[in-house]
Amino acid sequence: MNDLFSPLSNQIGILERVVQKTSAANFLLTSYKRSFNGFAAKLTEQERERLAGMKEVVSVFPSRTFQLQTTRSWDFLGLNQTAKRNATVESNTIIGVIDSGISPDSESFNDEGGQNFTCNNKIIGARYYTDAGASDAVGHGTHTASTAAGNPVKDVSFYGLAQGTARGGVPSARIAAYKVCSVAGCPTEAIMKGFDDAIADGVDIITISIGAGSSAPFHQDPIAIGAFHAMEKGILTLQSAGNSGPEAGSVSSVAPWMLAVAASSTDRRIIDKIVLGNGKTIVGSSVNSFELNGTSFPLVYGKDASSQCVDSDARQCVAGCLDTNLVKGKIVLCDLAGGNAEAHQAGALVSQDYDVVKSYLKSTKRPRANILKSEAIKDDGAPVVASFSSRGPNQIVPEIIKPDISAPGIDILAAYSPRCSYHK
């Protein structure tokens, strides 16, 4: 007898009816068949409508590209190194990390697997659906995995900042990594495949710090769909609330079967000081590893450092606007409007004390400033929800309060991938 149900055969059969061609398999991009029945395919709008009209089809939605959104934090939460733990129970916990892959050679994941290989009992699984291989080229996946379950690593810091022992919340737990993101983003079909495999692999909990920037109906949200099937198997999914704050209604993780986590501060704050030529000192939040040894540099306004952009773009130091000859060896003041990589690489200053700096710029013909090296101080006002963290209310189902909880998400020292810049 050969009457066992085959999800793949069922999917191809549906596609054949939709595209009305015998080569329907060529239209299939990804098949989900381990934990739930679904597929991703290349279709025209007419074919999409035909597929959506079939009674056996729950929903059809277009692929979108989602974006990634993460020493002292665990001490702040009361889980210090002397806290009583059950390593045996923790080691039987498998955390599924759906992200940008993982860097297995980090000390945070070391389990002394062998001299010539890094596979071990810490990272017990690694699958990939974008790029070639599960290695992390973005850094985000390695960071989040070590934050959740990294081994204790002593005497670590970022250029002397946040000195101490870095460790995950459940350091004895094991990790299964599912690479669904590349430097270009996180496509829908890869995210759903990650859920399909993670559920079938038997992970105990799933963490995913990925979002679309805005909420969507549950039947059109691949993360909500994947998390629903995980919930059916008793697997909780934790998703970051999003990085679109502080606007109201910006939370993108809104399904009731997921735990939406907002980002908040700890009692360790990393600050940076800027000393203006008139002696005034401005304190802000930043991470600067360089040392200027007391040397001040010319200070220039973005609008005055551009010869090829309109004033509005030049003031914001929009990519391509800054003239190399006009900013070299100088500190650049940019209007506070999101910030951009080019401005920061040029040594731009983006500060909430903008008016103070702007006033100083106008007061002298030769403005100068000095940026001091960052330092860590105690913040007695913590915890405070980060300004960038997405807020409620829930735009899809207002009766369901989201986010559910907050957790440290600012200035977290964790593992990084050597394939990318840790300045990200």
Predicted confidence (pLDDT) per residue in 89-128, tens digit: 667 899 999 999 999 888 888 876 445 545 568 999 999 9
Q: Which fold has domain 269-376?
A: Glucose Oxidase; domain 1 (3.50.30)
Cβ–Cβ under 8 Å, residues 413 and 162: yes
Under 8 Å CB-to-CB from 312, ≥6 apart: which residues?
Answer: none
Tell me whether the CATH fold assigned to 7-60 matches the one assigned to 66-266+384-408. Answer: no
Sign of CA dihedral 30, 31, 32, 37: positive
pLDDT at 348 over 70: no
Per-residue pLDDT of 261-278, as tens digits, reads 999 988 888 888 899 999
**Mean of the pLDDT values across residues 17-27?**
87
pLDDT at 190 over 70: yes
d(CA 155, CA 1): 63
CA angle 214, 320, 342 (to 5 degrees): 65
Closest among 226, 179, 187, 244 to 65, alpha carbons compared: 187
Closest among 188, 15, 21, 195 to 98, alpha carbons compared: 195
**Mean pLDDT for the chain overall:** 85
| Structure-token pair, residue 289 | 């590893």
Each domain of the chain, given as residue ranges in start order, spans 7-60, 66-266+384-408, 269-376
* φ and ψ of 8, to 5 deg: -65, -45
**Number of CB atoms found within 10 A of residue 113's CB:** 15
Containing 355, the helix (H) or strand (E) segment is: helix 354-363
Question: What CATH number has the domain spanning 66-266+384-408?
Answer: 3.40.50.200
pLDDT confidence of residue 93: 92
Per-residue pLDDT of 278-318, as tens digits, reads 999 988 777 777 777 788 999 999 999 988 889 889 988 88
d(CA 202, CA 124): 12
Cβ–Cβ under 8 Å, residues 90 and 282: no
Amino acid present at 379? D
Dihedral (Cα; 407, 413, 416, 422), 10-degree rounding: 110
In the block, tokens 């190194």 appear at 81
d(CA 297, CA 328): 10
Return the CATH class of domain 7-60.
alpha beta
pLDDT confidence of residue 119: 54
pLDDT at 70 over 80: no
Closest among 334, 108, 147, 176 to 240, alpha carbons compared: 147
pLDDT confidence of residue 344: 44
Cβ–Cβ under 8 Å, residues 319 and 340: yes
d(CA 120, CA 176): 11
